[in-house]
């Protein structure tokens, strides 16, 4: 996919949330790159950036052939702290630039009242400076819904390229998709498999059985056919490969509709009520 920054982003990403720091993470990242992923998603708050960087170096793949994303954590919001947070992330990863840097969660009204919008705008100013200084190639948002995004869009000098949100069957995020499409913002899906819970769904299992595919491949394909970019995590080599192998088949419109009609589900926090 093409980003509004002019850079391209590989259309599936490998996630590292809850991947324990150390050998498990190093091996999993190396395994993912061997399987074909060129897009790795991490965050300061995952406390595994050192191992992600090490896995990347051990893969032997040149840095410029990879797309690496990280995120500024909620305790580091605001102009100065965001600049310092990015420096630390680069140091921990052992890299001199990031492909994509995201504000991990918006400051929300529940916690910050009327100051929420200005905190997000200040943090965005720092993101723009990081892009100007070429420490990051593209900048974006995560967990921003229209009400969080609007003040940033209204004041940005560099528009956000990406919004990374919880998206999967049962959480279609229609309003956020509309504002993102209108503003040329690529939508990334976190927890596309519902942290694994959706793999047990009987309708998905039924489609998987008929198509000779795994439940995870059916869900990831559904995300991709919604023009959303899935970020998927596993620490098991066989699953890592299985999840990447989703570009040689297509779901029918009927299969797409069946999956879109699955009951409401949310496995992570709601950005409006998050208290962290
Ligand atoms: N921006 C944000 O706020 C935010 C929030 C959450 C996540 N994310 C990003 O999105 C990525 C993906 O989300 P996620 O990790 O929460 O959930 P996910 O990718 O939907 O699901 C991961 C879970 O599913 C299991 N799994 C994966 N592939 C499988 C397969 N083929 N068969 C059976 N089980 C499978 C994994 O277990 P094993 O590892 O044991 O295989 C793990 O328990 C994260 O890693 C992170 O990079 C971002």
One digit per residue, the tens of pLDDT, for the chain of length 276 reads 999 999 999 999 999 999 999 999 999 999 999 999 999 999 999 999 999 999 999 999 999 999 999 999 999 999 999 999 999 999 999 999 999 999 999 999 999 999 999 999 999 999 999 999 999 999 999 999 999 999 999 999 999 999 999 999 999 999 999 999 999 999 999 999 999 999 999 999 999 999 999 999 999 999 999 999 999 999 999 999 999 999 999 999 999 999 999 999 999 999 999 999
- CB count within 10 Å of CB 250 equals 12
| Residue 216 CB–ligand 1 contact under 6 Å | yes
Q: What is the DSSP letter of 19?
A: P
Q: Which pairing describes strands 98-103 and 229-232: parallel, antiparallel, or unpaired?
A: unpaired
With beta carbons less than 8 A apart as the criterion, state whether 98 and 88 touch: no
With beta carbons less than 8 A apart as the criterion, state whether 161 and 185 touch: yes
Distance 203 CA to ligand 1 centre (A): 20
pLDDT of residue 178: 98
- CB count within 10 Å of CB 193 equals 25
Rounded distance between C-alpha atoms, residue 191 and residue 160, angstroms: 21
Q: What is the CATH number of the domain that holds 253?
A: 3.20.20.100
Please report whether residue 273 resides in a domain. no
With beta carbons less than 8 A apart as the criterion, state whether 222 and 230 touch: no
* Number of structural domains the chain divides into: 1
With beta carbons less than 8 A apart as the criterion, state whether 39 and 13 touch: yes
Please report whether residue 248 resides in a domain. yes
| Residue 192 CB–ligand 1 contact under 6 Å | yes
Residue nearest to atom 4 of ligand 1 (CA): 190
- The pick from 32, 144, 196, 269 for probing ligand 1's pocket by mutation, whose C-beta has the most ligand atoms within 8 angstroms, reads 196
CA-to-CA dists, residue 116 to 3, 15, 109, 156, 181, angstroms: 27, 28, 6, 16, 24
Token pair 């009204």 is at which residue? 109
Please report whether residue 154 resides in a domain. yes
46 is catalytic: yes
Please report whether residue 5 resides in a domain. no
| Residue 91 CB–ligand 1 contact under 6 Å | no
pLDDT of residue 159: 98
Rounded distance between C-alpha atoms, residue 85 and residue 167, angstroms: 27
Please report whether residue 246 resides in a domain. yes
- Which numbered atom of ligand 1 lies nearest the CA of 42? 47
| Residue 268 CB–ligand 1 contact under 6 Å | yes
Angle of CA points 171, 199, 218, to nearest 5°: 80
Give the H or E element holding residue 13.
strand 13-15
| Residue 13 CB–ligand 1 contact under 6 Å | no
CA-to-CA dists, residue 198 to 143, 190, 263, angstroms: 21, 13, 11
pLDDT of residue 247: 97
b or e along 109-143 (b: 16 or more beta carbons within 10 Å of the residue's beta carbon)? eeeeeeebbebbbbbbbbbebbbeeebbbbbbbbb
With beta carbons less than 8 A apart as the criterion, state whether 55 and 33 touch: yes
Please report whether residue 272 resides in a domain. no
Residue nearest to atom 10 of ligand 1 (CA): 190
pLDDT of residue 126: 98
Q: Considering 14, 46, 101, 145, which one is annotated as catalytic?
A: 46
Please report whether residue 95 resides in a domain. yes
Distance 152 CA to ligand 1 centre (A): 29
With beta carbons less than 8 A apart as the criterion, state whether 55 and 29 touch: yes
| Residue 66 CB–ligand 1 contact under 6 Å | no
Domain enclosing residue 142, as ranges: 13-260
Residue nearest to atom 39 of ligand 1 (CA): 234
Please report whether residue 3 resides in a domain. no
Residue nearest to atom 47 of ligand 1 (CA): 15
| Residue 163 CB–ligand 1 contact under 6 Å | no
Residue nearest to atom 8 of ligand 1 (CA): 190
């Amino acid at each position: 996919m093409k980003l509004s920054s002019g850079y391209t982003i590989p259309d599936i990403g490998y996630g590292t949330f809850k991947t324990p720091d150390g050998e498990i993470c190093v091996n999993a990242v190396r395994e993912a790159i061997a399987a074909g992923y060129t897009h790795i998603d991490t965050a300061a708050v995952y406390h595994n950036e050192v191992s992600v960087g090490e896995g990347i170096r051990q893969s032997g793949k040149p840095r410029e052939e990879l797309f690496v994303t990280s995120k500024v954590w909620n305790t580091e919001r605001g102009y100065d702290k965001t600049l310092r947070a990015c420096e630390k992330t680069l140091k921990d990863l052992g890299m001199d630039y990031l492909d994509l840097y995201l504000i991990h969660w918006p400051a929300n009204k529940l916690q910050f009242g009327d100051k929420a919008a200005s905190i997000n705008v200040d943090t965005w100013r720092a993101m723009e400076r990081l892009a100007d200084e070429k420490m990051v190639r593209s900048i974006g948002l995560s967990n921003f819904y229209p009400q969080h995004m609007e003040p940033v869009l209204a004041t940005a000098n560099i528009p956000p390229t990406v919004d990374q949100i919880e998206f999967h069957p049962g959480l279609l995020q229609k309003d956020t998709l509309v504002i993102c499409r209108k503003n040329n913002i690529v939508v990334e899906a976190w927890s596309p498999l519902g942290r694994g819970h959706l793999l047990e769904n009987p309708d998905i299992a039924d489609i998987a059985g008929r198509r000779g595919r795994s439940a995870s491949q059916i869900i990831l394909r559904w995300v991709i056919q919604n023009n959303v970019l899935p970020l998927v995590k596993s620490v098991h080599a066989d699953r890592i490969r299985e999840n990447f192998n989703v570009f040689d088949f297509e779901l029918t419109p009927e299969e797409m509709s069946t999956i879109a009609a699955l009951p409401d589900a949310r496995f992570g926090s709601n950005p409006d009520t998050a208290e962290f």
